[in-house]
Chain A
Amino acid sequence: DTGVSQDPRHKITKRGQNVTFRCDPISEHNRLYWYRQTLGQGPEFLTYFQNEAQLEKSRLLSDRFSAERPKGSFSTLEIQRTEQGDSAMYLCASSPIRGTSTDTQYFGPGTRLTVL
């Protein structure tokens, strides 16, 4: 399978705990994105990496959220001191840096977070 993969697919945690999600982009894609989606809404942009550089962060990404892509390959998204309002689907997407559709993003299956 050469698509975007995410792990875990589901996560249930108690309020106040820390959680970390992983995303592995399509292998030749240099750009990686994180989104959050709640019921009835479209995906909301959180952050964007080009290779290992984090080039854009949304104001939605509070101080409790941190994302890394240390070697320009996989990425992690950590949420510290989770709150019930963090319950959502966390989506990762990637896009190529060369070619005719360099801003076309392909999504992974998502990680569904439930904070109790």
Chain B
Amino acid sequence: QKEVEQNSGPLSVPEGAIASLNCTYSDRGSQSFFWYRQYSGKSPELIMFIYSNGDKEDGRFTAQLNKASQYVSLLIRDSQPSDSVTYLCAVNSGGYQKVTFGTGTKLQVIP
């Protein structure tokens, strides 16, 4: 079982819809959770982080964390074609600073 799992996609949503990206993790001791986006050939860019169960909103983005079910999700409201990139989920299991990344979900927003 991979430590951090994401569906590679592509996930296709129409413009203006809500895109829902999901991530599950295996280590119950995980403390911190991150979403990055990555344009092709570029490095990851931090979107947001979440530490506590529940929702955290930042503009059009909402991160949701459920530690009991070991999943974290990213919702993108009013999806735009410019949101069509790969989204990486990353998890820090604590103790030391190693962050484990998923393989990423490619999002396609259809105009």
Contacts and interface: CB of A to CB of B under 8 A. Distances in A.
Interface of A: 31, 33, 40-45, 48, 50, 55-56, 58, 89, 91, 95, 101, 103-110, 112
Contact of B102 (A42, A45, A103): A42
Interface string B15-59: 000000000000000011010100001111110010000000000
Contacts of A31: 97
A95 B92 CA distance: 13
B37 to A, nearest CB: 11
A45 B98 contact: yes
Contacts of B8: 40
A45 B100 contact: yes
Nearest to A58: B98
Contacts of B41: 112
Interface residues of B, number: 25
A89 B42 CA distance: 9
30 contacts: A31-B97, A33-B99, A40-B8, A40-B103, A42-B4, A42-B90, A42-B101, A42-B102, A42-B103, A42-B104, A43-B101, A44-B101, A45-B100, A48-B97, A48-B98, A50-B97, A55-B97, A89-B43, A91-B43, A91-B44, A95-B97, A103-B92, A104-B32, A104-B46, A105-B46, A107-B43, A108-B43, A109-B43, A110-B42, A110-B43
A107 B96 contact: no
A95 B32 CA distance: 14
B4 to A, nearest CB: 8
Contact of B44 (A43, A55, A101): A43
B88 interface: yes
Given A103-B92, A109-B43, A33 B34 contact: no
